[in-house]
Each structure stands twice: as structure tokens, then as C-alpha cells.
Amino acid sequence: MFTGIITDIGSIDRIEARGDRRIFVSTAYDMTSVDLGASIACSGVCLTVINKGPGWFAVDVSGETVSRTPADQWIAGRRLNLERALKLGEELGGHIVTGHVDGIGTVANVAIDGDSWKVDISVPADLAPFIASKGSVTVDGVSLTVNAVTDHADASVFSLNIIPHTQKVTTLGTLTAGADVNIEIDVLARYLKRMEHYRAKA
């Protein structure tokens, strides 16, 4: 479990082709404090540390994960938003994030809004019921608040403000129109939708 508060930006150093893809990620984390088998969210994807050393760790990325994330995410040189798993007693600064990607969004527009950026992201219509104005959403592992949502027949577009701090400490500072991003809906919205489904059937 995570909070969507990014604590490092890593970079994919190299990839080994196996049954799955083995990804080696450079990081500023003190890896002596990270156990083998621990979970690290990599741009919103919960992955298991299977090897490590000073300034790096390795994870296996399954074909299922590759198929549900942007095509260019698992390539050498790609920068990744990193977050270690939440420990009991730590501050919950964002919202509850599972590290399971629900879909891929596409950046529709980036515009300057004061010192911040206003970012519009298009998502498939099946995700629309789970995204609400002033609700929470995770974009590439970053916990953010939705400003507004506009629904269309085949897609929905939601807007966010990316403040200067978030631009600096995450990869969202390099977003451009046309970029694909990982989207995780609020886990509470997922359960509410499920409850609504069964209430409608009753």
C-alpha cells in the first residue's frame, strides 16, 4: 500500500529479457534499508525488489503489467516516480494507493495557470464513473486532486493543477500533450461503484 507521495525519481539503467522483463533501476534510496521482497511503486506500478545493490534495485515486470501500462514505460533511460511501501504509523500525506493500474490516460493539454500547470487528461469512458471533481486520482504514481471532469461519448477528460513543487520532485514536470500516463482510481470510488451495482440489482 502506498500514499502517492513520491520520494525519489529513479531511472531505468538496463533491461534483461527473460520470461519477464528484468528492470534495473538507479535510485537515491539507501538500499541497505530495503529488504529483498519489499514493494516499490514505479510510476504507480507496485513491483517486488528481487535484487539490489548500492544505488540500484531490480524488479521483474510481467507481460500482464507491460500490457496495461504505456508502451514506452519499460525502456532504458525512462525516469520513474518511486515510492516505498507505507509503514504503519507513517503520515498518510496523499490518499490510499494500491499500485494497481486501472487504465492508461493520455495528456490532452498542458497550459500555464499562474505558477502551476493545468493539465487535462483523457481517459476511457469505463473509468469515468470513478473520477469525480475534488476527488483523488493517481497519475504515474502521484496522488492528485481532480479539479473538474467533462464527459464525452467515448471518453472523459479531467483536469489537474500541477504545482511547482510537484513539477520538481516528480516526472510530471515533463508532461506534454500526447503523453500516456498510468491511472489508478481512488480505491474508495471502486468499492462505492461495486456497492451501487449490487444495490441496483436488489
Asked if 111 and 11 touch (Cβ cutoff 8 Å), the reply is: no
Tell me what percent of the residues of the chain surpass a pLDDT of 70.
Answer: 90
Q: Give me the chain's average pLDDT, please.
A: 91
Read off the pLDDT of each residue in 134-158 and give the average, rounded to a whole number: 94
* Complete domains list, the chain, with CATH: 8-84 (2.40.30.20), 103-201 (2.40.30.20)
Q: Does residue 195 register a pLDDT over 70? A: no
Confidence category of residue 112, pLDDT binned at 50, 70, 90: very high
Residue 6, C-beta contacts closer than 8 angstroms, at least 6 positions apart: 81, 82, 83, 141, 142, 169, 170
Question: Would you call 66 helix, strand, or coil by DSSP?
Answer: helix
CA distances from 36 to 41, 53, 107 (A): 14, 11, 35
CA 27/CA 22 separation, integer angstroms: 16
Q: Does residue 196 register a pLDDT over 90? A: no
Task: Give the model's pLDDT for residue 71.
Answer: 87
The one-letter amino acid at 40: I
CA 165/CA 60 separation, integer angstroms: 31
Task: Give the model's pLDDT for residue 96.
Answer: 81
Grid cell at residue 172: 510530471
Q: Does residue 56 register a pLDDT over 80? A: yes
Asked if 108 and 120 touch (Cβ cutoff 8 Å), the reply is: yes
Asked if 161 and 113 touch (Cβ cutoff 8 Å), the reply is: yes
CA 184/CA 127 separation, integer angstroms: 9
Q: In what order do the strands lie in the sheet with 142-145?
A: 142-145, 136-139, 180-185, 103-113, 116-124, 155-162, 148-151
Grid cell at residue 175: 508532461
